[in-house]
Amino acid sequence: MAIALKESEELYLKDFREFENRQAATAPAWLSKLRTEGMQAFAELGFPTTRLEDWKYCNVAPITRVRFQPAAYELDDRIQEWIEEISFSGLDGTRLVFVNGHYVEELSTVGELPAGTKVTNLAKAVTQSEAAAERLGRYASHKTHPFVALNTAFMKDGAFIEVPKGVVVENPIEILYVSTGGEEPWVAHPRNLVIAGQGSQVTLVESYVGLGDGVYFNNAVTEIVAEDNAHVDYAKLQSESEAAFHVATVLAYAARNAAAATHSIQFGARLGREEVTTVLDGEGAEGHLYGLYVTNGQQLIDNHTTIDHAQPHCSSREYYKGILDGKSTGVFNGKILVRKDAQKTDSKQSDQNLLLSETATINTKPQLEIFADDVRCTHGATIGQIDPESIFYLRSRGIGLEEARNLLMVAFAGEIIHHVKVGPFQRQLKAALLAKMRG
Amino acid sequence: MLLEIKNLHANVGGNEILKGIDLKIGLGEVHAIMGPNGSGKSTLAQVLAGRDLYAVTKGEVLYDGKDLLDMAPEDRAREGIFLAFQYPVEIPGVNNTYFLRAALNAGRKHRGQEELDAMDFLTYIREKIKLLEMDDTLLNRPVNEGFSGGEKKRNEIFQMAVLEPKLAIMDETDSGLDIDALKTVATGVNSLRSKERSIIVVTHYQRLLNYIVPDFVHVLSNGRIVKSGGKELALELEDKGYSWLDETVPANERA
């Protein structure tokens, strides 16, 4: 049954009151306050419509029309086996496993970590960690962004990672969000918080993987803080199932001389929207944004990025690529904001797309807003087809048509995947890419 | 007879370029096809390799007794046809070694031979590279990316050596090469001459034929072979220039 927009928003309000009552006994006061702020903001903002510039090509009506229930989960052997198959860190690494948004302690492991490093689920962290209380909700803008507001209202669990000053975490931390579609559509609001202290270093891999063909909605928010001189590398795979909705907001904050890298890989979901905002808020900070979206069928995949150059001498590199087939639609909107004080900004952006069918669409838009005068900013967007000359060259050497196409697409996408630091995850991405291309 | 071309007509975008080519090539023979710009030399080479840019409107081509025009480009390659491109394509992101192994194994699989694993393949190409006195750093580079003109042409010959075709078609492999690069390429090609392999050398200039001496020379003009002869025909052409051809074409066929 389709639900009208207003009615949908009211249902979320109703759900919130029930959720609030259930959480009231255990939630710390600051968290209840934050959630209420989120709900109030959502009540004011409402769901975005395509009349808003930022949502012009991303009609979220299919999300608002569905009555989602809070996510429940069941763990069976099949799901467990499946998790072991997709997890690369295995039982001796560090991984946090969530099924339908719920933390599953028995499948999560914390391997050897340097002293003082905390890797835990957020529900636990909010009752124990001062840093969580201090930082949660400070970076992602729940007051202006409807889906962040909604997440803030309903957030319950997610990953919490805190790396103390000067500590280098060698092994990657894996965060796995596994979703199993059920009879009833469900929604989860995963919330991650990553704090990398001064001079620390950490690598994170987050995967959203869907099993089955049920309808569900993951509305995730990840806040990443890299304090002075810290290095954070965060790679995210969105491989939700075909009927799923996925909205994710990533906020990476880099202080003086810090480096924040994000990799946003979107293969799955019926509607996938990912916003990455990197704030370079200290001299010498560096931002790297990599993205890859591969779509087919009726998929709509939207990438919105903002790089906020707030201080001088910062650099940013942004490389996104898309491969679009069938009747799918892709969006890339890359905003680079260079504030008045951000002299000597060095910024490069590119978005390259391959259209494999005549019915696929890409809307790509670089957006530069520069208020400083001594800066170097370049940007470019390309849309093309697979080069027939290259195909013929490969075929003339005995390589079959399909393999030739795959080879060229993997090569095209490989330039993005290649930047992912974690070897096993890189291999996983290549395999997922091939599987996706073979439909 | 390895290759038999009968009355081949081909056009691109309705513009007829090949206007009835007849040519027979026996196993182990080296044929040079010469002709001025626009005579259809490169079109012929590309049509034989299966480039779909060109529409064949008439005629037939038998390769090893099989209907060549009915075969996909990859099947022609697997059956032993190799085209050395005039302008080899740069393929960023595809490693040369990976590409060559995929190509070689596609052919081996087609012939019912066992595919080579990465180790065996490496041993195999190291030999080839030594044979051609080539720089082995090109193996780990993406296919042709950033290669100089000479490197690209040498890479074509290297691929030919690896794939060991039955029929190699060299499309203006000499164009743009200085004399040293030309000699290297010619030495490579000569080392691949064999009783089991036929070679078609397409060229505008006689120069290459000083180094790769053909058994037969054909002159292509305006989409037809207007003259055939032995290697001395190339010298005659060099001497008299392509304008001399006009006098050899019957008056009623002159444009």
A193-247, pLDDT tens digit by residue?
999 999 999 999 999 999 888 999 999 999 999 999 999 999 999 999 999 999 9
**Amino acid of residue B249:** V
Two tokens, residue A429: 């991405």
Mean pLDDT of B145-149: 91
Phi, psi at A416, each rounded to 5°: -90, -50
Q: How confident is the model at residue A91 (pLDDT cuts 50, 70, 90)?
A: low
B221-250 confidence digits (pLDDT tens): 999 999 999 999 988 888 888 877 766 555
Phi, psi at B191, each rounded to 5°: -70, -15
B28-85 confidence digits (pLDDT tens): 999 999 998 889 999 999 999 999 999 999 999 999 999 999 999 999 999 999 999 9
What's chain A's length in residues? 439
Residue of B nearest to A389 (CA): B89
If phi over 0 gives left and psi between -120 and 50 gives alpha, with beta otherwise, what is residue A199? left
Question: Looking at residue A339, what is its pLDDT?
Answer: 98
Q: Quick check: A396 and B50 CB within 8 A?
A: yes
* Cβ-contact B30, B230 below 8 angstroms: no
Q: How confident is the model at residue A30 (pLDDT cuts 50, 70, 90)?
A: very high
Question: Looking at residue A346, what is its pLDDT?
Answer: 97
Q: What is the share, in percent, of chain B residues with pLDDT greater than 90?
A: 76
**Cα(A307)–Cα(B169) distance, rounded to whole angstroms?**
52
Q: Quick check: A387 and B89 CB within 8 A?
A: yes
Helix (H) or strand (E) holding A427: helix A423-437
**Amino acid of residue A339:** R
Q: Quick check: B91 and A415 CB within 8 A?
A: no
Question: Would you say residue B253 has pLDDT above 70?
Answer: no
Phi, psi at B65, each rounded to 5°: 85, -5
Q: Quick check: B103 and A399 CB within 8 A?
A: yes
Q: Where are the alpha helices (DSSP H) in B41-195?
A: 41-49, 73-78, 96-110, 118-131, 149-163, 179-191
Q: Quick check: A398 and B51 CB within 8 A?
A: no
Q: What is the share, in percent, of chain B residues with pLDDT greater than 70?
A: 96
Q: How distant is the Cα of B53 from the closest Cα of chain A, in angstroms?
A: 10
- Mutant choice from A392, A401, A403 vs B, greatest count of B C-beta within 10 A: A392
Q: Quick check: B91 and A390 CB within 8 A?
A: yes
A352-365 confidence digits (pLDDT tens): 999 999 999 999 99
In b/e form, how buried is each residue of A335-349, taking b as 16+ CB within 10 angstroms?
Answer: bbbbbeebbbbebeb
Residue of A nearest to B49 (CA): A396
Question: Looking at residue B246, what is its pLDDT?
Answer: 66
Mean pLDDT of A245-252: 98
Phi, psi at B11, each rounded to 5°: -135, 160
Query: Range with the lowest mean pLDDT among A10-19, A86-95, A123-132?
Result: A86-95
Question: Looking at residue A299, what is its pLDDT?
Answer: 97
**What mean pLDDT is reported for chain B?**
92
- Of B212, B215, B208, the closest CA to residue B232 belongs to B215
Question: Would you say residue A99 has pLDDT above 90?
Answer: yes
Chain A residues inside the 8 Å CB shell of B74: 395-396, 398-401, 404
Q: Quick check: A398 and B92 CB within 8 A?
A: no
* Cβ-contact B219, B228 below 8 angstroms: yes
Question: Which residues, 6+ apart, have CB-to-CB distance to B250 below 8 Å?
Answer: none
Chain A residues inside the 8 Å CB shell of B102: 399, 403, 407
Question: Which residues, 6+ apart, have CB-to-CB distance to A31 below 8 Å?
Answer: A126, A133, A136
Two tokens, residue A350: 């590119």
Question: Looking at residue A47, what is its pLDDT?
Answer: 96
Chain B residues inside the 8 Å CB shell of A404: 74
A121-155 confidence digits (pLDDT tens): 999 999 999 999 999 999 999 999 999 999 999 99
**Cα(A292)–Cα(A136) distance, rounded to whole angstroms?**
28
Two tokens, residue A41: 């903001």
Chain B residues inside the 8 Å CB shell of A395: 50, 72-74, 77
**Cα(B99)–Cα(B105) distance, rounded to whole angstroms?**
10
> Which structural domain range is residue B109 located in?
3-253
DSSP assignment string, A169-235: --SPEEEEEEEE--SS-EEE--EEEEEE-TT-EEEEEEEEEEESS--EEEEEEEEEEE-TT-EEEEE
Chain A residues inside the 8 Å CB shell of B94: 407-408, 411
CATH number, domain with residue B106: 3.40.50.300
**Cα(A132)–Cα(A370) distance, rounded to whole angstroms?**
34
Would you give the DSSP letter of residue A156?
Answer: -
Residue of A nearest to B47 (CA): A396
Tokens 């060991």 map to which residue? Answer: B164
- Mutant choice from A292, A323, A393 vs B, greatest count of B C-beta within 10 A: A393
Question: Looking at residue A90, what is its pLDDT?
Answer: 67
**Is residue B106 within 8 angstroms of chain A, CB to CB?**
yes
Question: Which residues, 6+ apart, have CB-to-CB distance to B146 below 8 Å?
Answer: B90
**Is residue B113 within 8 angstroms of chain A, CB to CB?**
no
Query: In the structure, how many helices (H) and strands (E) does chain B have?
Result: 8, 12
Q: Where are the alpha helices (DSSP H) in A108-169?
A: 122-128, 130-135, 146-154
**Cα(A434)–Cα(A88) distance, rounded to whole angstroms?**
18
Q: What is the share, in percent, of chain A residues with pLDDT greater than 90?
A: 87
Phi, psi at A8, each rounded to 5°: -60, -45
Chain B residues inside the 8 Å CB shell of A398: 74, 77-78, 103-104, 106-107, 110, 163
**Cα(A284)–Cα(A279) distance, rounded to whole angstroms?**
12
CA distances from residue A58 to A268, A270, A273 in whole angstroms, order as listed? 16, 12, 8
The ipTM value here is: 0.95
Q: Quick check: A395 and B92 CB within 8 A?
A: no
Residues of B (161-190) whose Cβ lies below 8 Å from A: 163
A384-416 confidence digits (pLDDT tens): 999 999 999 999 999 999 999 999 999 999 999
**Amino acid of residue A391:** I
* Cβ-contact A379, A348 below 8 angstroms: yes
- Of B196, B204, B128, the closest CA to residue B165 belongs to B196
Two tokens, residue A392: 């013929």
- Of A249, A222, A221, A239, the closest CA to residue A293 belongs to A239
Question: Looking at residue B255, what is its pLDDT?
Answer: 43
* Cβ-contact A277, A250 below 8 angstroms: yes
Model pTM? Answer: 0.89
* Cβ-contact A372, B49 below 8 angstroms: no
Chain B residues inside the 8 Å CB shell of A323: none
Residues of B (132-151) whose Cβ lies below 8 Å from A: 142
Q: How distant is the Cα of B90 from the closest Cα of chain A, in angstroms?
A: 8
Q: Quick check: A407 and B163 CB within 8 A?
A: no
Q: What is the share, in percent, of chain A residues with pLDDT greater than 70?
A: 99
**Cα(B202)–Cα(B44) distance, rounded to whole angstroms?**
9
Residue of A nearest to B108 (CA): A398
**Domains identified in chain B, total number:** 1
Bridge partners of A336, per DSSP, are A307, A368
Question: Looking at residue B254, what is its pLDDT?
Answer: 45
Query: Range with the lowest mean pLDDT among A72-81, B8-17, B156-165?
Result: A72-81
Q: How far apart are the first and last CA of chain B?
A: 33
